[in-house]
């Protein structure tokens, strides 16, 4: 699929306005994730008993937990409108791949709205809320991917790099991104009461190891390639922050059990943990996609190795562009 996308000559003519709009949609999705995390952390999920209206009104009394739930719905509506506009822009871009992916993002955001309504009407947080959280992450990485696919770098046909070391960065980065996604599923399940903390703890250790390994691989083999180096640095920064936030958030959960209501520390730490987790996933996905875009599939020599006393051709060419 990626080879088809990168070989489409029509991608080179995509207006940068579409890229900026895709980035705006991604940024607003981060705010939506924060709004959703605030609902859960403040125990406000059941503060509004009806959907799509709130207490039979478009604007309900903004008191107590209703404020968080209503802000979440308002932000969700904003992101849905942005996604609709983005899908229309992509449909006019001339790329069938982007048109289909934009349509997929639109379907995902509609599905999110339906799941949100099911959560309100059927009151099954362990199931519907967990699926809602997982689908939110899928939608987020979809719009983030669209931001990358519409970028000038992606469509500039950069020279392909060689990577003949083992394991190849393409495979390693893809495995890391998949592991982080599974870890977010485990975190959502624990947060919404679907299962306990142990799978999430084991997953955190696995993800930490894979992320450090992947970031180090980027630094050692492609340290001069800006488009790969930046995402490797972000991945390492986010995973380190996320690991520390995970410890702090678990401490806050234990403390919150003894409290009458959610404390400020509990809300701040758990919301931050959700947000940084999403950003970690985004960084890993963009790194994996960038590796598939920049590195040859049939290469067998690392771009960092030397051939006849000089750097490999792919690494030298791309490094000069960084």
Note the pLDDT tens digit of each residue in 16-29: 899 999 999 999 99
Q: Please identify, among 157, 175, 205, the residue that sits at the C-terminal boundary of a domain.
A: 157
- Could you tell me if 201 and 138 lie in one domain? no
pLDDT at 298: 59
Who wins on pLDDT, 231 or 257? 231
Query: What single string gives the DSSP state of each residue in 211-254?
Result: HHHHHHHHHHHHTT-HHHHHHHHHHHHHHHHHHHHHHHHHHHHH
Determine the structural domain holding residue 126 and report its residue range.
1-157
Domain match, 189 and 152 both: no
Do residues 87 and 99 share a domain?
A: yes
Confidence of residue 277 (pLDDT cuts 50, 70, 90): very high
Q: Which of 139, 157, 175 finishes a domain?
A: 157
Q: Of 122, 157, 192, which marks where a domain is finished?
A: 157
Task: Say yes or no to pLDDT of 261 above 70.
Answer: yes
Phi/psi for 54 (5° steps) reads -125, 110
Give 19-66 pLDDT, tens digit per residue.
999 999 999 999 999 999 999 888 887 788 878 878 788 888 888 888
What lies within 8 Å, CB to CB, of 254 at 6+ separation is none
Beta-carbon count within 10 A of 266 CB? 21
Task: Please check the confidence at residue 282 and state whether its pLDDT lies above 90.
Answer: yes
Higher pLDDT, 160 or 2: 160
Could you tell me if 7 and 146 lie in one domain?
yes
User: How high is the pLDDT of residue 309?
Assistant: 37
Domain co-membership, 226 together with 117: no
Give 127-160 pLDDT, tens digit per residue: 888 888 899 999 999 999 999 999 999 988 777 8
Cβ neighbours of 257 (radius 10 Å): 7
319 and 201 within one domain: yes
What percentage of the chain has pLDDT greater than the value 70? Answer: 87
Same domain, residue pair 317 and 220: yes
CB atoms within 10 A of CB 158: 18
Same domain, 18 and 71: yes
Q: What is the pLDDT of residues 185-228, one digit of tens each?
A: 999 888 877 788 899 999 999 999 999 999 999 999 999 999 89
Please report the pLDDT score of residue 311 as a whole number. 41
Same domain, 181 and 292: yes
pLDDT top residue among 238 and 158? 238
Give the residues across from 143 on adjacent strands.
Answer: none
Is residue 117 a contact partner of residue 48, using CB atoms and an 8 Å limit? no
Distance (Å, rounded) from C-alpha 287 to C-alpha 148? 10
Please identify which residue in the block is written with the tokens 């806050």.
252
* Contacts with 59 (C-beta within 8 Å, 6 or more apart), sequence order: 70
**One domain for residues 122 and 37:** yes
Total tally of structural domains belonging to the chain: 2
Nearest residue to 180 via CA among 30, 266, 288, 270: 288
Q: Is the dihedral of CA 271, 67, 265, 196 positive or negative?
A: negative
Record the tokens describing residue 143, joined without a space: 């719009």
Same domain, 14 and 137: yes
pLDDT band per the 50, 70, 90 thresholds, residue 97: very high
Residues 123 and 200 in one domain: no
pTM (predicted TM-score): 0.85
């Amino acid at each position: 699929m990626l080879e088809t996308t990168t070989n489409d000559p029509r991608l080179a003519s995509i207006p940068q306005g579409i890229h900026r709009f895709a980035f705006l949609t991604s940024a607003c999705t981060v705010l939506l994730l924060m709004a959703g995390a605030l609902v859960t952390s403040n125990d406000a999920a059941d503060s509004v008993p009806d959907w799509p209206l709130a207490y039979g009104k478009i604007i309900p009394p903004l008191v107590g937990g209703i404020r968080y739930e209503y802000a979440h719905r308002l932000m969700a509506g904003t992101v849905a409108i942005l996604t609709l506009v983005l899908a229309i822009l992509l449909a006019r871009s001339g790329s069938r791949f982007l048109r289909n992916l934009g349509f997929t993002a639109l379907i995902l955001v509609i599905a999110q709205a339906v799941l949100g309504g099911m959560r309100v009407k059927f009151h099954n947080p362990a199931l519907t809320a967990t699926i809602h959280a997982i689908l939110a992450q899928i939608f987020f990485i979809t719009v983030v991917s669209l931001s990358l696919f519409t970028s000038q770098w992606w469509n500039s046909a950069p020279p392909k790099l060689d990577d003949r070391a083992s394991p190849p960065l393409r495979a390693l980065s893809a495995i890391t991104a998949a592991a982080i996604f599974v870890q977010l599923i485990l975190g959502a399940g624990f947060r919404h009461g679907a299962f306990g903390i142990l799978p999430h703890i084991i997953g955190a250790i696995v993800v930490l190891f894979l992320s450090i390994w992947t970031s180090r691989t980027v630094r050692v083999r492609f340290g001069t390639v800006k488009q790969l180096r930046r995402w490797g640095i972000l991945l390492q920064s986010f995973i380190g922050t996320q690991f520390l936030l995970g410890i702090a958030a678990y401490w806050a959960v234990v403390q919150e059990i003894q409290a009458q209501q959610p404390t400020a520390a509990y809300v701040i730490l758990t919301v931050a943990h959700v947000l940084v987790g999403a950003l970690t996933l985004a960084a890993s996905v963009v790194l994996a996609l960038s590796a598939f875009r920049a590195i040859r599939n049939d290469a067998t020599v690392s771009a960092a190795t030397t051939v006849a006393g000089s750097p490999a051709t792919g690494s030298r060419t791309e490094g000069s562009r960084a």
